[in-house]
């Protein structure tokens, strides 16, 4: 009886001691590993598509200012916008008013001027308008004038690469078709309808297509590129063209993707926009008159010097606020898509290693994911970079679930 007892207890491979192998089998369940891997992949795509920005924006607002010294747009440096509210007549700007506004701006030093409205053709003031335009351009100030869609309109091509996914992954699109054709002109943006006339929920029209199916951009597309790039007077983004995926996702290199509506509109996003100066046409003329008389005009000059000046309407302030909110998001650099997918693969590998070893090694991996993710994110923020933090945190939480004691 004693010999039988010793033999039974010394046999480590006996089927009567199943507990360690049962725990290992439960921990390394292939089905659960696949589910956890899919959760990490989902977290990667949530971060990749920029859906975590509302959380990130709130956290960034409470961080010390020295953490964002490498990000001029967040500090409101290098990006200056001034809206000159014109007085439209039948939804158009009188050419004489536009000429007077441009003449006043020629005495200042704006970086760029965009006319966000239709200008009426007046024979008496047309020559004056062309002369002022020539003066501004001779001084190196680029003046962009949008054009109303018509059969005679000529648009230039966009610095975008297009990709249409297979039908199974394709999202619905219903872009507006406008008259006109493509040319090699440097300027060629169309004038979209006002967000007020379309409804606040419609958004800003960035794109449309011609009858030939060619994609063209609106004046808001040009302004968005200027706000994002932060370099006025240059061809923003020409060297690094973005991608328009399926007509719905606007992917800008090293930036967060932008989701458009079915009509190619940028949704109106409520949020905290940077302050920009707004001045009525009458007050602007009074400021110019005071400046010409030799009065003190330092505060007045500061509004327009090195600024992106937009000749528009009062309702355009809503559009500019939306673009500035988007600019705050796109100002932060992101890792390339390939790097983010590589990080996803690394997290899945660490998950498999940790679930196969429910010892101190697993706890070390959890600690490494949490502390390493927070430390790396903090360092990257000082250089204006937002790295993916959601996949490592999700991986750590899943490993914590795996090591929880089971009854």
Range from 10-14, 280-284, 351-355 carrying the lowest mean pLDDT: 10-14
Closest C-alpha to 288, from 110, 108, 114? 108
Residues 393 and 369 sit within 8 Å (Cβ to Cβ): yes
- Going through 176-219 in order, the beta strands assigned E by DSSP cover 181-182, 204-205, 207-209, 215-217
User: What is the model's pLDDT at position 169?
Assistant: 58
Give the pLDDT band (50/70/90) at residue 201.
low
Q: Which residue has the tokens 């020539």?
A: 134
Q: Where do the H-state alpha helices sit in 139-260?
A: 195-198, 219-229
Question: Which of 17-26, 251-260, 306-315 is modeled with the greatest confidence?
Answer: 306-315
Residues 120 and 94 sit within 8 Å (Cβ to Cβ): yes
Across the chain, mean pLDDT equals: 78
Contacts of 381 (CB under 8 A, 6+ apart): 60, 63, 67, 68
Give the pLDDT band (50/70/90) at residue 16.
very low
Tell me what percent of the chain is helix, strand and coil, each rounded to the nearest 5.
Answer: 45, 15, 40
């Amino acid at each position: 009886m004693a010999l039988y007892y010793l033999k039974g207890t010394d046999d480590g491979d006996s089927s009567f001691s199943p507990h360690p192998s049962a725990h290992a089998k439960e921990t390394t369940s292939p089905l659960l590993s696949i589910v956890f891997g899919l959760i990490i992949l989902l977290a990667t795509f949530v971060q990749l598509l920029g859906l975590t920005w509302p959380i990130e924006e709130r956290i960034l607002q409470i961080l010390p200012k020295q953490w964002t010294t490498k990000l001029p747009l967040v500090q409101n440096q290098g990006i200056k916008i001034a809206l000159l509210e014109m007085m439209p007549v039948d939804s158009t700007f009188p050419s004489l008013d536009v000429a007077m506004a441009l003449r006043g701006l020629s005495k200042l030093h704006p970086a760029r001027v965009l006319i966000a409205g239709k200008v009426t053709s007046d024979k008496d003031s047309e020559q004056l308008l062309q002369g002022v335009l020539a003066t501004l351009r001779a001084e190196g100030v680029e003046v962009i004038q949008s054009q109303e869609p018509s059969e005679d309109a000529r648009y230039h091509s966009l610095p975008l690469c297009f990709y249409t996914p297979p039908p199974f992954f394709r999202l619905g699109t219903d872009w507006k078709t406008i008259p006109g054709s493509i040319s090699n002109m440097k300027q060629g943006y169309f004038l979209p309808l006002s967000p007020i006339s379309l409804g606040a929920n419609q958004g800003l029209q960035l794109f449309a297509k011609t009858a030939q199916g060619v994609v063209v951009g609106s004046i808001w597309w040009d302004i968005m590129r200027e706000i994002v790039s932060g370099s006025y007077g240059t061809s923003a983004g020409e060297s690094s063209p973005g991608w328009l995926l399926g007509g719905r996702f606007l992917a800008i290199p090293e930036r967060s993707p932008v989701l458009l509506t079915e009509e190619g509109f940028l949704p109106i996003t409520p949020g905290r926009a940077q302050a920009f100066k707004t001045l009525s046409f009458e007050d602007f003329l009074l400021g110019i008159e005071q400046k010409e008389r030799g009065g003190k005009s330092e505060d007045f000059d500061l509004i327009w010097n090195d600024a992106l000046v937009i000749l528009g309407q009062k309702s355009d302030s809503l559009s500019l606020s939306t673009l500035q909110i988007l600019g705050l998001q796109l100002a932060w650099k992101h890792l390339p898509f390939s790097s983010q997918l590589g990080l996803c693969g690394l997290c899945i590998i660490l998950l498999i290693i940790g679930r196969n070893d429910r010892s101190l090694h697993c706890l070390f991996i959890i600690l490494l994911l949490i502390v390493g993710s927070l430390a790396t994110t903090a360092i990257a923020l000082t250089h204006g970079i937002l790295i993916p933090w959601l996949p490592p945190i999700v991986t750590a939480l899943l490993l914590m679930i795996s090591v929880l004691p089971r009854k």
